């Protein structure tokens, strides 16, 4: 890795002293980082910092539902937001959603990555197939699942009825309205979210496994280590950097996940299947500043998750 880096940066270091000299040249030389960092900084300022500023700013304004600004409102929106009895359940649901989707995704991805790291006939086909849920628009996946769960004519219900499965768990056709009841709707949406998160996670872990040098395994074999021992003592510890990246990106993605829930239930009935992101959008229909306050809250929650996570995973020591 370090060898490659040197070979990349080498041509950039001028081999001979600069042709032009003098104070003007030195200033230009000092300003050089700006040329390199400028575009990236402008991009971040325009695409990340400005919207964040407007988000925070909107939450302190008295903006009516048509979008007109009627001046400063102080902490009114935050006060109203925290007075909502639904906020607590929504935040609890967000935690359940986050932990179950990310947890299950990681647990399923690891054996999948181990499998795909082995030689077997048709491996290429399986690897390609795994890309499908990733390559498909999440929105489409959510719509297809919503159709499959349609009470009267959805595929899942029809197959379930044909096999007598639904009958066994006491569901008649009218009761098989999976997405109409908050509990079952949430379970199905978690399944869909896991389904679409698997490819990225598996591929990140697979890349991490392939980066582990083969000679370590050979040395372990010479020392007489069993397959399980070489997995637990070599693969798992060396996989940590890749796993940390996968986990972190999943945490943020799943926390911000919108299309699955919106397309399958719109957060309904009521806001009983809404996570904090969907709840923010629901609030926007009635009150822009309250939705902005909710966004600020979300922003802090996701920042907190990332900070806590990096802290506990000793990110700096091990991952880099």
Partner 1 sequence: MKGKEESMKKRIATTVSLAMITSVLGVSASSFGAVTAKASAPKVTITVLGADYGSGPSNTTSTYWQHIAQGFMKLYPNVTVKTSTINWNDYNTKVTAQIQNKNYPDVLQGEFFPQYVSDGLLYPLSKVLSNPNAGSPVFKSSFSVKNVQYAMPFVTSARTMFYNKKLFAQAKISAPPTTWAQLLTDAKAIAKLGKIGYSLPLGPEEAQAESYLWMLGSGGGWQNAKGQYTINSKANLKAFAFLKQLVASGATNPNPATWNRTADSAKAFANGQVGMEFNGPFLTATIASAGVLKPSDYATAAIPGANGPVIKTLGVADAIQVFKSSAAKLPWIKKFMDYATNNANQLAFAHEYALLPGTVSALNSLKNDPILGSFVKALPHTVLFPSSANWTSTVLPAIKIQIGTAVTGNASSVLNQLQTLATGG
To partner 1, the closest distance from the beta carbon of 217 in angstroms equals 50
Footprint on residues 169-208 left by partner 1 (CB under 8 A) = 174-175, 177, 179-181
For the CB of residue 263, give the shortest distance to partner 1 in the complex, in Å: 12
| Smallest gap from residue 212 Cβ to partner 1 (A) | 42
Stretch that binds partner 1, among 4-12, 20-28, 51-59, 189-197 (CB under 8 A): 51-59
In the numeric block, the tokens 């001046």 are attached to 71
- The reply on whether position 72 binds partner 1 by CB under 8 A is no
210's CB contacts (< 8 A; 6+ apart) are 117
Q: Is there binding between residue 259 and partner 1 (CB under 8 A)?
A: no
> Rule CB under 8 A: is residue 271 a binding residue for partner 1?
yes
Shortest Å distance, C-beta 294 to partner 1: 12
Closer by beta carbon to partner 1, 177 or else 216? 177
Among 18, 28, 39, 65, binds partner 1 (CB under 8 A): 65
Contact residue for partner 1 among 26, 50, 210, 256 (CB under 8 A): 50
Does 67 interact with partner 1 (rule: CB under 8 A)?
A: yes
| 285 is an interface residue for partner 1 by CB under 8 A | yes
Exactly one of 18, 38, 39, 46 binds partner 1 (CB under 8 A); that residue is: 46
- Judged by beta carbon, residue 101 or residue 171, the one nearer partner 1 is 171
Residues that bind partner 1 (CB under 8 A): 46-47, 50-51, 54-55, 57-58, 62, 64-68, 76, 80, 83-86, 174-175, 177, 179-181, 265-272, 282, 284-288, 295
């Amino acid at each position: 890795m370090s060898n490659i880096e040197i070979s990349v940066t080498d041509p950039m270091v001028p081999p001979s002293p600069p042709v032009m000299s003098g104070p003007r040249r030195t200033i230009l030389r000092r300003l050089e980082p700006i040329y390199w960092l400028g575009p990236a900084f402008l991009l971040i300022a325009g695409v990340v910092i400005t919207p964040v500023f407007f988000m925070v700013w909107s939450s302190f304004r008295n903006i009516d539902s048509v979008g007109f600004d009627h001046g400063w409102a102080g902490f009114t929106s935050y006060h109203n937001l925290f007075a909502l009895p639904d906020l607590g359940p929504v935040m609890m649901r967000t935690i359940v959603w986050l932990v179950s989707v990310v947890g299950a995704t990681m647990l399923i991805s690891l054996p999948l990555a181990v499998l795909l790291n082995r030689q077997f006939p048709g491996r290429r086909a399986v690897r390609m197939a795994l890309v499908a849920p990733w390559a498909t628009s999440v929105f489409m996946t959510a719509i297809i699942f919503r159709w499959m769960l349609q009470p009267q004519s959805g595929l899942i219900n029809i197959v379930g009825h044909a096999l007598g499965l639904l009958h066994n768990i006491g569901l008649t056709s009218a009761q098989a309205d999976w997405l109409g009841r908050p509990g079952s709707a949430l379970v199905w949406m978690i399944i869909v979210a896991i389904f679409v998160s698997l490819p990225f996670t598996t591929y990140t872990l697979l890349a991490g496994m392939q980066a582990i040098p083969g000679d370590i395994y050979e040395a372990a074999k010479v020392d007489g280590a069993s397959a399980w021992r070489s997995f637990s003592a070599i693969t798992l510890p060396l996989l940590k950097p890749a796993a940390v990246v996968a986990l972190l990106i999943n945490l943020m993605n799943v926390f911000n996940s919108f299309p699955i829930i919106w397309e399958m239930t719109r957060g309904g009935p009521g806001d009983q299947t809404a996570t904090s992101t969907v709840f923010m959008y629901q609030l926007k229909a009635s009150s822009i500043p309250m939705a902005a306050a909710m966004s600020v809250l979300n922003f802090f929650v996701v920042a907190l998750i990332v900070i806590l996570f990096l802290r506990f995973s000793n990110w700096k020591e091990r991952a880099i």
